Amino acid sequence: MAKKFIIMEDYTLRVPDNNDNALALLNYLKTLDFVELTKTRDWWDELSEGNKKSIQKGLDDIENGRVHSDKEIRASVRQRILKAKMG
């Protein structure tokens, strides 16, 4: 007798928590024995407030032109290393 293989696929369905139709759909899906629902959280929600503020500051710096090129940073680091070697 040939073995049957079941292939499971994952899908992502994003629904707003405040939408009654979306919640009704999720509740219906929960009743189906062949559907497995797993609630996931966005990585942003897992970050500490300090990390979120730091990211927001970085985005604000980019938006307002407070950035440095790779070339500028390398030159600055090179100068600091040379200065430290010279004492």
Q: What is the pLDDT of residue 77?
A: 96
How far does Cα 24 stand from its chain's mean position? 27
Q: What is the pLDDT of residue 11?
A: 84
Which regions of 1-87 does DSSP assign to beta strands (E)? none
Evaluate if residue 1 carries a pLDDT over 70.
Answer: no
Evaluate if residue 3 carries a pLDDT over 80.
Answer: no
pTM: 0.47
Q: What angle do CA 25, 28, 34 make, to 5 degrees?
A: 115
pLDDT digits (tens, 9 = 90+) for 40-73: 888 888 999 999 999 999 999 999 999 999 999 9
